[in-house]
Structure 1
Amino acid sequence: MTGALDRLAVLAGRSWRVSPLPGGLTNTNLRVTTDDGLTPGLDLVVRCSQAGADLLGIDRDAERANTAAAAEAGVAAPVVEYRPDLGMLVIEYLHADALTDDSFADAAVLDRAAAAVRRLHAGPRFTGDFDMFARQAAYLATIRERGFALPAGYEAYADAWEQVRRALTATARPTVPCNNDLLAANFLDDGERIWLIDYEYSGNNDACFELGNTVTECGFTREQAEAWVEAYFGPPTAADLARVRLQSLCSCYGWSLWGFIQAAASPIEFDFWGWGMERFEKARAIFGADDFPRLLAAVA
């Protein structure tokens, strides 16, 4: 993989060194810095995509376009070079630290993160749309067609899932450019502002899905979730809170299938099945909550 780096135009004629970056379950990330003393020096991230993106619905061309749009919005690293023939996207390295779930306990961090999400959502429209109901249906079809394992009870929630779809569709809000995968590690904090990275699943979507996905991925308590919604909207309405909670359910139920597909198809050594089950259990908890019928009514 590193041998292909010398085929990048940005590194032509340059001397450089490379080091791996942590994270990435559908790609390998490398930090490449020039060490030849020439000006300007380069500090880059090369995202090397893995095979199997078609199973997961990843559009690499859209990823590049949307990363560039997010950079224009002031929340992402600029794109330096895109080489689909090499499976590589080159962006500038951001000198900032990835958040963890615990980082959001700091109200100042929560506010900076919400400000970054608002900047993204106010930025240029993205290439393509993201609809978790369509994504979930496509993932489920892939699992059935290929005979991949699915946990017992997953499809028992099909009727409730349809109720959620109808409730959210009937009260649809204008879509905005969304990352759609804002787990803690995709927020980078430089101490003054927060940047958002990894646009593999980006597309125009309901802003409340973006918020609900972070609630799910970062394990927010009910109180943290309400503070997160308020940091984004200002004082939220009951419909805002209900919509974000239902969209967090959509995130859990839909993305769990991503884990089950990866468990069957990915060569990476990672507990994808456990990852998927963790999200499925969160979805089951919301489907079975006493206030689930009230959530469906409250989005209106």
Structure 2
Amino acid sequence: MQHNDPIKAALEQAGFSGAVLSPPIGGVVSPVHRAVENHCCLAAIPGEAPVFVKCRHEDMAAFIDPEDAIEASGKAGQIGIAPRLLHADAARGILIFEALGEEWSWGHVDVLRRPPVLENLLAAKRRFHGVTPLAQTRSVFDLIQAYRRLADAPDVPLPSPVATVSAAVENIAAAIAASGVDMVACHADGASSNVMVGPSNTVRLVDFEWARQADPAYDLGTVLAELLPFDGEALLAIEMATGKPDAQVLARARLYGAADDLLWALWGFIHAARSPRKHVEFFKYAEWRLLRARTVIEGPRYQAWLKQV
């Protein structure tokens, strides 16, 4: 396969010469978002523990900077909230991690909603907020503008609601900017499959390709959008995260969640048009994320939330 030779070269550099590669983990993006940006597999020297390897797909080169992923993954592993990064080859876009055991599984929404798991998930995100600042500082609004430029081309068909949601997100950006933003290191990825759940409800965060300096309410908003669509349960999660069920934090987080959904909708529409991997349902995923953004933008509380941030 096209990824095997560079992966084997990186494994040799990392001291795993002769490691045998597992079949790749199949990428899924509708609606689960897992193993899409990277070719992912296990590698093991016979008789030794395996390692987890990821190699960026070529169609993600304009979206993922390996240096950013390396920095954030390394810091997360050092504080114990993510698998340890063992080796990185930025030129090839390859990262090698310790592999979690068979007792760990991908996060599912129903599992991550369980209070002990959710509390550990939010605690892991908060711990990452405390690491030294990351080099990447583009906000979700900066990324949306960049993705809109990529998408504004004849070969990328965009459904008409993209325009109205984009206009609403511009208003969100203005409201949040006017209120002020405290920046911390954020995982910046709410996908349930980017949380691993282990024994005794322990969690590890994975996939730090999108990590950057951001408002901690953005990190919270991506989790709420993924796991907790109803505001009562969302306020309980906010209490877990901040110590009180703060309506202002809810407003800010919900609006950030909508912006994040627009970001990923644009990502999906661009890749549906341009990625050679036509078996991946990028367009279906994009439509789902756009629909989720619309539930906030067109919902009855949108205007009130704009005033609360």
For the Cα contact (< 8 Å) 2:165–2:262, is it kept in 1? no
1:227 alignment partner, one of 229, 236, 252: 236
2:93 is aligned with 1:87: yes
Aligned residues: 294
1:50 alignment partner, one of 37, 51, 57: 57
For the Cα contact (< 8 Å) 2:77–2:84, is it kept in 1? yes
Q: Distance in 1 between matches of 2:166 and 2:22?
A: 47
Q: Distance in 2 between matches of 1:127 and 1:42?
A: 33
Which residue is 2:67 aligned to? 61
Which residue is 2:121 aligned to? 113
Alpha-carbon shift at residue 110 of structure 1 (Å): 1.0
Q: Distance in 2 between matches of 1:159 and 1:26?
A: 28
2:172 alignment partner, SS class: helix
Q: Distance in 2 between matches of 1:248 and 1:12?
A: 41
Deviation digits for residues 26-75 of structure 1, max 9, x if unmatched?
1111111221x4xxx342111011112243x3111111111101112221
Q: Which stretches of structure 1, 4 residues or longer, exceed 6 Å deviation after superposition?
A: none
Aligned runs of 1:68-217 on 2, under 5 Å?
A: 68-95=74-101, 96-145=104-153, 147-192=155-200, 193-217=202-226
Deviation digits for residues 165-206 of structure 1, max 9, x if unmatched?
111111223111111113111111222421100011111111
The one-letter code matched in structure 2 to 1:259 is G
- TM-score, scaled relative to structure 1: 0.91
1:270 alignment partner, SS class: coil
Q: Which is further off, 256-265 or 186-195?
A: 186-195
Q: Which is further off, 5-14 or 106-115?
A: 5-14
Alpha-carbon shift at residue 158 of structure 1 (Å): 4.1
Q: Which is further off, 214-223 or 190-199?
A: 214-223
Q: Distance in 2 between matches of 1:165 and 1:6?
A: 44
The one-letter code matched in structure 1 to 2:286 is G
Alpha-carbon shift at residue 219 of structure 1 (Å): 5.7
For the Cα contact (< 8 Å) 1:15–1:34, is it kept in 2? yes
1:25 alignment partner, one of 9, 31, 36: 36
Deviation digits for residues 121-156 of structure 1, max 9, x if unmatched?
122322211311111111011011463111113213
Alpha-carbon shift at residue 13 of structure 1 (Å): 4.1
Q: Distance in 2 between matches of 1:290 and 1:17?
A: 51
1:288 alignment partner, one of 255, 278, 298: 298
The one-letter code matched in structure 2 to 1:217 is E
Alpha-carbon shift at residue 162 of structure 1 (Å): 2.1
Q: Distance in 1 between matches of 2:230 and 2:292?
A: 12
The one-letter code matched in structure 1 to 2:78 is E
2:283 alignment partner, one of 262, 266, 273: 273
Gaps of 5+ in 1: none
Alpha-carbon shift at residue 93 of structure 1 (Å): 0.9
**Percent of pairs identical after alignment?**
23
Which residue is 1:252 aligned to? 261
Deviation digits for residues 81-104 of structure 1, max 9, x if unmatched?
112343311111123221101113
The one-letter code matched in structure 1 to 2:209 is E
Q: Distance in 1 between matches of 2:132 and 2:77?
A: 10
Q: Which is further off, 89-98 or 256-265?
A: 89-98
Q: Distance in 2 between matches of 1:104 and 1:44?
A: 25
For the Cα contact (< 8 Å) 2:228–2:234, is it kept in 1? no
